[in-house]
Structure 1
Amino acid sequence: MQLKSLDEVNINDFVAYCLKHRNEVDDSFLYDQDLEHFKFSSENPTYLVYSPANEVLAGVSLIIDDYHRRGRKGRFRIFHSEVDSREIYLLLWNALKPHLEGIDHVFMFVPFTNNQLVSRVEELGFQIERYTYVLVRQEKMTPSYQLPEGCQIRPFRPGLDEEIWCSVRNKSFATLKGSETPITPDMVSKMVLDKDYIDGGMLLLYHFDHPIGVIKGANDTYEGKPIMNIGPVAIDPDYQGKGLGRCLLRAALQMAKDKGYDQTILCVNTDNEGALALYLSESFIQVEGVICYTYNLIELS
């Protein structure tokens, strides 16, 4: 076995390995668009393990971009081995450690069904932080909604509403596990440029002239079929408990129908009981689940 860091020579090996195994891991950053634009850098420390026959046996890649570094965390893009070997997983994990200066913890999402990876990351000392469900809704019927007096839903205006979007999203998610780090207007601007962007797919909820909610629908696929991915769904905490989240969700469901989607998909932390109850009551069904594992690096220092 030989460990190699990513470079111009073997980047195609890494992409091919991700394409081969992305259905076995959390594929949030392994879509075609992500891999097409993937570049090795200090923000993406990446290593591969090769067999004596020069075949890729395993790979690891960590995301430490500006957003994650501001939260003092790193997220695994992939951590996978074709061979169920503690030695290989330990080799990959140790290779990443020199890149973790200024990082307090790293995390990854592991599908419930990947028993091999569950066992190996727990052997390495990763701890369960939370569980997340993937929910899907078939668009059989779109329920109606009625906004309270003084409320209205407006389309997001690129180039004008980025700071407004951030203010609502950041206030709403300030205590939500995994989303505590504020996003920036530049990050919102990039959403409009992504290939998954749907024209008119970002909506803002106002109470008179005060922005209090956001929701976004993006183009996605599930089991080989088109689907609209909903998220974030955020309501200002001062306005929660008034049924506004349901109204905003139903507006997104109507948008999906108008755009020709037969189904929608979203993710929710299981400890976000209010949101989970809302989605289940709106005919979403759990289809997958993942475990969020974290490793606390502060304890090592």
Structure 2
Amino acid sequence: MTVRPATSDDLDAIMAIEHRSFPTDAWSSETMAVELASPHGCYLVDEHEGSIIGYGGVRALVGASDADIQTIAFDAEHRGAGRGRALLRALLDAAVERGAREVFLEVRADNPSAEGLYRSEGFEEIARRPRYYQPDDVDAIVMKLVLPHPRSVDPRITDADVAKEASE
């Protein structure tokens, strides 16, 4: 398994997976190109035998306390083999490195495999957005994960700060 940072050269391969994975509500190439170029996010691709087979992104502004998983998608023949979990963990690591303390995401209510992955990694449902995914009228399950303390990112955070926050 090879996970590496995505570049603008990966756009066509990413968009091919995007359209296969989300046929009714895929992002546009323009939107994805902006995401790949943004300094406020981290996009990764998973390569297998020289081809991109999956990608994911997290929006995590440096120093912000929260982050958002923007998307994760794999070609169908590579799902269910642990690659999505590895990519999710790499995105969470990127969020921690940028200083995030919690991560949010939305998952389609008709995607129990993805929901199960997120729950198994500690995400909890905090809300539902009825009919969020259009044109399919599918609810979005909003989920949240509290991340490990990012003390290594901000040395000004002390053990006393951690203890105080834990007691609140």
CA displacement at 1:8 relative to structure 2: 3.5
In the alignment, the residues of structure 2 paired with residue 106 and residue 124 of structure 1 have an alpha-carbon distance, to the nearest angstrom, of: 12
Contact persistence 1:6–1:40 (CA under 8 A): no
SS of the residue corresponding to residue 79 of structure 2 reads: coil
CA displacement at 1:86 relative to structure 2: 5.5
CA displacement at 1:6 relative to structure 2: 0.8
Q: TM-score, normalised by structure 2?
A: 0.70
Let me know the Cα RMSD of the aligned residues. Answer: 2.8
Q: Indicate yes or no: 2:99 matched with 1:102.
A: yes
* Aligned mate of 1:84, from 75, 79, 84: 79
CA displacement at 1:292 relative to structure 2: 0.8
User: Aligned residues: percent identity?
Assistant: 11
Q: Indicate yes or no: 2:123 matched with 1:126.
A: yes
Q: Indicate yes or no: 2:132 matched with 1:288.
A: no
SS of the residue corresponding to residue 82 of structure 2 reads: helix
In the alignment, the residues of structure 2 paired with residue 290 and residue 98 of structure 1 have an alpha-carbon distance, to the nearest angstrom, of: 24
Provide the residue aligned with 2:66 in structure 1.
73
In the alignment, the residues of structure 1 paired with residue 35 and residue 4 of structure 2 have an alpha-carbon distance, to the nearest angstrom, of: 17
Contact persistence 1:2–1:51 (CA under 8 A): yes
Q: Indicate yes or no: 2:51 matched with 1:55.
A: yes
SS of the residue corresponding to residue 60 of structure 1 reads: strand
Contact persistence 1:49–1:59 (CA under 8 A): yes
Contact persistence 1:109–1:292 (CA under 8 A): yes
Q: Indicate yes or no: 2:109 matched with 1:112.
A: yes
User: Gapped runs of 5+ residues in structure 1?
Assistant: 136-220, 224-286
In the alignment, the residues of structure 1 paired with residue 41 and residue 14 of structure 2 have an alpha-carbon distance, to the nearest angstrom, of: 12
Contact persistence 2:58–2:69 (CA under 8 A): yes
Provide the residue aligned with 1:244 in structure 2.
none
CA displacement at 1:33 relative to structure 2: 4.3
**Distance of aligned partners of 1:88 and 1:125 in 2 relative to their CA distance in 1, 3 Å threshold:** same
In the alignment, the residues of structure 1 paired with residue 28 and residue 103 of structure 2 have an alpha-carbon distance, to the nearest angstrom, of: 21
Q: Indicate yes or no: 2:88 matched with 1:93.
A: yes
Residue-by-residue CA offset, 1:82-119 (whole Å, 9 max, x unaligned)? 33336212321232213433212111111111111111
Q: Which has the higher contact order (CA 8 A, sep 6+)?
A: 1
Question: Where do 1:131-280 residues align within 5 Å?
Answer: 131-134=128-131, 222=135
Give the aligned length: 144
Contact persistence 2:47–2:53 (CA under 8 A): yes
Residue-by-residue CA offset, 1:107-145 (whole Å, 9 max, x unaligned)? 11111111111111111111111111027xxxxxxxxxx
User: Gapped runs of 5+ residues in structure 2?
Assistant: 150-168
SS of the residue corresponding to residue 71 of structure 2 reads: strand
In the alignment, the residues of structure 2 paired with residue 98 and residue 77 of structure 1 have an alpha-carbon distance, to the nearest angstrom, of: 13
**What letter corresponds to residue 108 of structure 1 in structure 2?**
L
CA displacement at 1:4 relative to structure 2: 2.0
